[in-house]
Structure 1
């Protein structure tokens, strides 16, 4: 309470103390729904680009050009500084249509972001890393399938353990599909 009072007395206002002032009331004039919606579009692009960069193991220090294709180009032009800073973009170029071959695409409700692949990763190193990861996942899947197909294991193990092994197998299959998708994107 003492810190709040100190801050309150430093602000320009009419009352002397926060203790004797009335509780603030909602002011419709201070609500900006259009600005909120616009910023939500910008945040969505930033989140999706960061997820994509994480999936591709691109370090945040690696700056890239981003081409944002949208009917809301003016919104993304205004938010370009936020996108540059928070999505590690070197330059943000907005427009209604871009034709860039060999680009990674990130799609949101309001935009399509294109990032040239050559700027993101060394494709040979990334392909080698993904192939190594794919081999490891395939080994895990083989082990889990072998365990679940083993009559002795399924008859003696508690149902909870068997269910956990099935979940692990499902997750490994999903991971394998994601890796294969990433490999096909690199080609």
Structure 2
């Protein structure tokens, strides 16, 4: 372990190397000790693939928590609905890790044909799964719709104002550096507007489910 850490913590590992008991044949200084070599026989491609899939699910869960404004102290129930047996096995294998890292109350792994409870927000996980997060009881849906609608209105005005500025004859006289900055800001605003519209559509879908 010390040898692996030495390039990143040279002084600490050298001090520990000098003070702690060493194996017979170890050099006097960790600086001249042979660096550990990887053992290819210990590679586990299946485990690596499972962890990668788990990371994708957790990333989607965190994104959903952020977009729905779920407080860190709240732990929603999550359903991971998988299209194929491989994804189903991977999600089941990593179920506890998903629950911990996504801060979920519980994680249920099901196949695509199985139903999940109502009151969920849904996001795809690549092309192999869907995350259905139970939002009922975690947020005031009407308040969220009002807040997002207000945000959309403000962002639409911002985008329209800049678009009008860029369409004006005087735009040709604007320095290139200012044009580049303004264009970048406009593109970012349009991306934010699209995200707000998607959030509103998601909330309205939840309401249509009989929230």
Fold-level similarity (TM above 0.5): yes
Q: Is 2:60–2:131's contact at 8 Å kept on the other side of the alignment?
A: no
Report the Cα offset of residue 45 of structure 1.
Answer: 0.6
For residues 11 and 177 of structure 1, what CA distance do their matches in structure 2 show? Answer: 61
Q: 1:135 aligns with which of 146, 153, 163?
A: 153
Distance change (3 Å), C-alpha of 1:159 and 1:10: same
Equivalent residue runs for 1:10-29 within 5 Å: 15-17=25-27, 18=30, 21-29=33-41
| Aligned equivalent of 2:135 | 117
Q: 2:57 aligns with which of 30, 35, 45?
A: 45
Q: 2:12 aligns with which of 3, 6, 10?
A: 3
| Aligned equivalent of 1:78 | 93
Q: 1:55 aligns with which of 57, 60, 67?
A: 67
Local SS of the residue matching 2:115: coil
| Aligned equivalent of 2:4 | none
Report the Cα offset of residue 77 of structure 1.
Answer: 2.6
Report the Cα offset of residue 2 of structure 1.
Answer: 5.3
Equivalent residue runs for 1:91-110 within 5 Å: 91-97=106-112, 98-100=114-116, 101-109=118-126, 110=128
Structure 1 gap ranges (5+): none
Matched, 1:178 2:188: no
Q: What is the TM-score when the length of structure 2 is the normalising length?
A: 0.75
The runs of 4+ residues in structure 1 deviating greater than 3 Å are: 7-23
Q: Tell me the matched-pair count.
A: 186
Structure 2 gap ranges (5+): 1-9, 205-211
Q: CA RMSD in A?
A: 2.5
Distance change (3 Å), C-alpha of 1:78 and 1:7: farther
Report the Cα offset of residue 11 of structure 1.
Answer: 8.0
Q: What is the TM-score when the length of structure 1 is the normalising length?
A: 0.84
| Aligned equivalent of 2:207 | none
Cα deviation digits, residues 128-186 of structure 1 (max 9, x gap): 110111111012122212322332x3143213323332332332223222211211111
